[in-house]
Structure 1
Amino acid sequence: MNGQELRDALRGEMANTTPPPPLSTGAALAAARRAQFRRRALWTSLGSAAVVLAVTGFAVVTTPDDLVYQPAGQGPLVSLDATGDTKEPWPTGPDGKPQEDRTARAGSQHDRGVHLLNEVVAVVPTGYTAPEDPANQPADQRTLRTHQAQFEEKVDGVDRWSYLSSVAVAQGDRTGRVIVEVHDAGTQLATEPCALARDFWGMQGECQLETVGAAQVGVVVRPGNDDRLDQWSAYRHPDGVVVYVAQGAKLDESRPGLTTLPFAVPQLAALAVDERFHLR
């Protein structure tokens, strides 16, 4: 793929994305920050070779901050505020100094991200495996397990964080993925269950309500034009913590996808309510 083909592919990917519904000013800012965080998914369908061709000619891409960005993976290591959308310093790390970007690489927030990853691995159903990344994995190869703790914003003087973990799920030689993303209480995401579900990564789709005990969970059972994932559930706990659980039949273009998704819709809804993902 040459440079022109890459640009055409990116334009096509953006053109096929269904725009989210209008948001308030505060919600729009939060959504823009999340969209910047998620934009890595646009690179997935292009493959690492195109990224190499268009940007650096090497297997990894470096940012102006000299941080490594892995386009085909979940949970980038790149600064998410390179354009300077905040004047406040980043949260203070365990060394007593401000973080270098939105991502916590040590301390209690980072540990929550690790905990979330372990819990996601633990719920992989019987009949599927959660393979680990091989030692000395090439930098241009998509990672199989990732986690990230990301600073979102400061609300009333309190830092609000989100946590994302992505786990490759395999059945034989076929591989898909399960993703769990958790937002601290205080987020400006929607309240109504299906509106909340459609807030996930700005993706739209056909949503239905699922009842889990006394909880109402929004589940997108069929995506719109954005096919990064196949189904996802969304639940806001009474204390305001938001949990998304998503599944996709395909991990990347280099591996055959799953023929059957790991979870049925009721199971996907139940996982969004599951206390193991209720990070506090």
Structure 2
Amino acid sequence: MTEEELNRGLRDVMERTTPPPSMDSSSALKRGRTARRRRRLTWSGIAVVPLVAGIALAPQLLGSRDPGGQVGDLVAAGGTPSPHPSSETSEPAASTAPSKAPSARKSGDPWPEGQTDRTASAGPRVVRVTKLLEDLSSAVPERFTAPDLKDSDGEPLRNPQAQYASSDGEPDYWEYAATIPVEHDGKVGQLRVQSTTPNGKGAIEPCKLAKQFWGGSGSCKVVDAGGKKVGVVTTKGGGDFDQWASYRHDDGTVVILAQSRKFERQSKPPLTQPIFTSAQLAELVTSATFKLSE
């Protein structure tokens, strides 16, 4: 629109809305001054419109940039700015599948999770077995302690270990084990807990399962622990452990808790009594405390 067309439009409006002038000269003069002020205000309003529009649009343009510096969709004045790119145009985030062991191990397969051998030296496996060691220490009865002792070579007797346990042709599964010295009145024995993740093998009779641990020599009896059947093996001595309990959870996780009155790798004399009774071993081995299923 040109300036002349705008002026003509304003005059047309004024002519249609202004009543016929009075014959009174003072009234005519007053109306003339009022009309002049209106024209000035009209021109001022027209000049301000582009400025106001620019100010109103600026926040929307600025608002279309998210805190991460990504520019979103621009919208018309009065609309809602989109703080992020449209889902139709944005690219999906890249994902990296975690390294894991094969579903059935074959000769020559690499060790899982970047390991150089069966034993995990870092990562979530080590975190889990370290907690298992701490939980075993916490389970020691009050009259005993679980000191941080070392053997004759200076190696700690408190030992957690997580290892990949599958052999060729077996599904992948893991074995977590923790051993601690247990002391009472200057005498030292040991505890060992072992938790094996489900390995695809079916359930077997409790004593048969228990005798698969550490040679299995000794007599076995089935102990009831809150309705759960636990195989408890008691040896005649000569081995590393005097007694252990074994239990298979419903999901296939197998937990073994073993005890011994002696600890060969240190110089202190052996304990004169067992750390746990048979019933206590059975109760602990069925608890969720020592169950690691993955």
Sort the TM-score into its range (normalised by shorter chain). Answer: 0.5 to 0.7
Deviations along 1:2-49, one digit per CA (max 9) or x if unpaired, are xxxxxxxxxxxxxxxxxxxxxxxxxxxxxxxxxxxxxxxxxxxxxxxx
1:88 equivalent among 101, 109, 118: 109
Q: Does 1:246 align with 2:258?
A: yes
Shift of 1:147: 0.4
Within 5 A, what are the aligned runs for 1:150-189?
150-153=163-166, 159-186=172-199, 188=201
Q: Does 1:127 align with 2:143?
A: yes
Shift of 1:274: 1.1
Structure with more relative contact order (C-alpha pairs < 8 Å, separation 6 or more): 1
* Cα pair 2:191 2:257 within 8 Å, conserved: yes
Shift of 1:143: 2.4
Using structure 1 for the length normalisation, give the TM-score. Answer: 0.62
Using structure 2 for the length normalisation, give the TM-score. Answer: 0.59
Structure-2 change in CA distance of 1:169 and 1:225 (3 Å): closer
Q: Which runs of 5+ in 2 are unaligned?
A: 1-105
Deviations along 1:197-245, one digit per CA (max 9) or x if unpaired, are 1100222210011001121000012x15752110000000011000000
* Cα pair 2:172 2:199 within 8 Å, conserved: no
Q: Does 1:148 align with 2:161?
A: yes
* Cα pair 2:203 2:248 within 8 Å, conserved: no
- In the alignment, the residues of structure 1 paired with residue 197 and residue 168 of structure 2 have an alpha-carbon distance, to the nearest angstrom, of 11
Shift of 1:141: 3.9
Q: Which runs of 5+ in 1 are unaligned?
A: 1-84, 93-97
- In the alignment, the residues of structure 1 paired with residue 249 and residue 238 of structure 2 have an alpha-carbon distance, to the nearest angstrom, of 27
Q: Does 1:235 align with 2:247?
A: yes
* Cα pair 1:91 1:159 within 8 Å, conserved: no
**Residue 82 of structure 1 corresponds to which residue in structure 2?**
none
1:216 equivalent among 225, 229, 242: 229
SS in 1 for 2:124: helix
**Identical aligned pairs, as a percentage?**
37
Deviations along 1:36-75, one digit per CA (max 9) or x if unpaired, are xxxxxxxxxxxxxxxxxxxxxxxxxxxxxxxxxxxxxxxx
2:132 equivalent among 111, 116, 134: 116
Q: Does 1:203 align with 2:205?
A: no
Amino acid at match of 1:186: N
Amino acid at match of 1:211: D
- In the alignment, the residues of structure 1 paired with residue 151 and residue 289 of structure 2 have an alpha-carbon distance, to the nearest angstrom, of 32
Within 5 A, what are the aligned runs for 1:34-53?
none
Of 141-150 and 174-183, more deviation after overlay is shown by 141-150
Amino acid at match of 2:129: G
- In the alignment, the residues of structure 2 paired with residue 206 and residue 217 of structure 1 have an alpha-carbon distance, to the nearest angstrom, of 14
**Residue 276 of structure 1 corresponds to which residue in structure 2?**
289
SS in 1 for 2:166: strand
Deviations along 1:233-261, one digit per CA (max 9) or x if unpaired, are 00000110000000000011622000011
Shift of 1:159: 2.5
SS in 1 for 2:137: helix
Shift of 1:112: 1.1
* Cα pair 2:230 2:282 within 8 Å, conserved: yes
